[in-house]
Amino acid sequence: MKRFFQPLQKDASFKKPTLSSTSSPSPANNGETEETATATTTPVDETQKKQPTKFLTWNANSFLLRVKNNWPEFTKFIDSIDPDVIAIQEVRMPAAGAKGTPKNPRELKDDNNSSREEKLIITRALSGPTFRKYDVWWSLSDSKYAGTALFVKKCFPPKKVSFNLDPSVSKHEPDGRVIIAEFESFRIMNTYVPNNGWKDEETSFQRRRKWDKRMKEFILQSTDKPLIWCGDLNVSHEEMDVSHPEFFRTAKMNGYVPPNKEDCGQPGFTLSERKRFGTILKEGKLIDAYRFLHKDIDMERGFSWSGNPIGKYRGKRMRIDYHLVSEKLKDKIIKCEMHGQGIELEGFYGSDHCPVSLELSESTIDGNDSENPIPE
């Protein structure tokens, strides 16, 4: 969901452990679905954890704009919580490749002066002290639309990274909506789910139905390892996940009312979307980490998206950004927090979404909990 405004800034707080390593950048993949991570890492001290346990997801609503306008505040926030993995949605930077030629969604465009300048801005930002300890994988659209990025600390190189819900397809998802990183005992999936739209058209309701069907199939077939599914999932599951249920339930675009009552309302809060999402959670045996810890509605900090402070969407908020984890991991959820608050968008860092963090206990990720082992 896209709206522009300039929020107040506010830092969040987690304890910051110190991890440092050096690594070569992740190699280009020329659009192939799968790649083996080959980053060179410095030895990790035996007292340090072996796999990522702290995760952050954020729809940046243009990563380039956030770098230009909000980078000091955002990097300070990242330093304060020190996530092992950062999942970004709505990168909105085009893939490499000149006009009329095949695109490489793994690389930023740099074939003209403006794109080279934009790539340089990003490269410089990521070479700073906060982000130089991460490797990054991009999945980009052909234009300044959608796109995702996954930052992983260099001391935790994934075994494999892929970019499609169908492992048999050797290309990225359209618009760069998926990045999947596999580690020793779990996988994490970063997605930017298509917006449902307002009408029963190929690019709206129909596209979302197909996406939800494919997502359910992927999750049901990927049971060999626990899953952490994060990102902008563009759905508010329950009424308590929106600030004004009646407003969102009766929302219309230019007075249009879909013929199916279950498709009526704000995209992300239609009954049909919410039912399909519930089915994915139930059949996929996934736990909503935030709601698992926060049972009651929180009108101040309980929403991840907020409408433009000017206009009819002022104060209208939704929780559409998630960390979903396999049931095998639910008892090891330590924290899941939203780091923005209020209708003036404190802690949103220029986006219309705030960052959402997840922390799991190390014993779960390593599979070494003798009292509650992860089933094979």
Q: Which residues belong to the active site?
A: 192, 232, 353
Tokens of 13: 């707080």
Q: Is 59 within any annotated ligand binding site?
A: yes
Of the candidates 341, 342, 322, the one whose C-alpha atom is nearest the C-alpha of residue 333 is 322
How many Cβ atoms sit within 10 Å of the Cβ of residue 211? 19
In total, the chain counts a number of residues equal to: 376
Residues 6+ apart with CB under 8 A from 35: 26, 27, 29, 160, 161, 162
3-state secondary structure (DSSP) of residue 264: coil
d(C-alpha 203, C-alpha 245), whole Å = 25
Q: Is 90 within any annotated ligand binding site?
A: yes
d(C-alpha 271, C-alpha 238), whole Å = 10
Spatial contact of 198 and 267, defined as CB atoms under 8 Å apart: yes
Give the rounded distance of the alpha carbon of 313 from its chain centre. 23
Tokens of 331: 């008892």
d(C-alpha 27, C-alpha 373), whole Å = 35
Token pair 């329950």 is found at 238
d(C-alpha 248, C-alpha 271), whole Å = 11
Spatial contact of 172 and 107, defined as CB atoms under 8 Å apart: no
Q: Is 353 within any annotated ligand binding site?
A: yes
Phi-psi region at 118: left, alpha or beta (left = phi > 0; alpha = psi -120 to 50): alpha
Residues 6+ apart with CB under 8 A from 334: 359, 360, 361
The CA-CA-CA angle for residues 115, 118, 119, to 5°, reads 85
**Could you tell me the end-to-end alpha-carbon distance of the chain, in angstroms, rounded to an integer?**
39
Q: Is 61 within any annotated ligand binding site?
A: no
Q: Is 118 within any annotated ligand binding site?
A: no
User: Residues marked as binding?
Assistant: 59, 90, 232, 234, 352-353
User: Residues marked as binding for Mg(2+)?
Assistant: 59, 90, 232, 234, 352-353
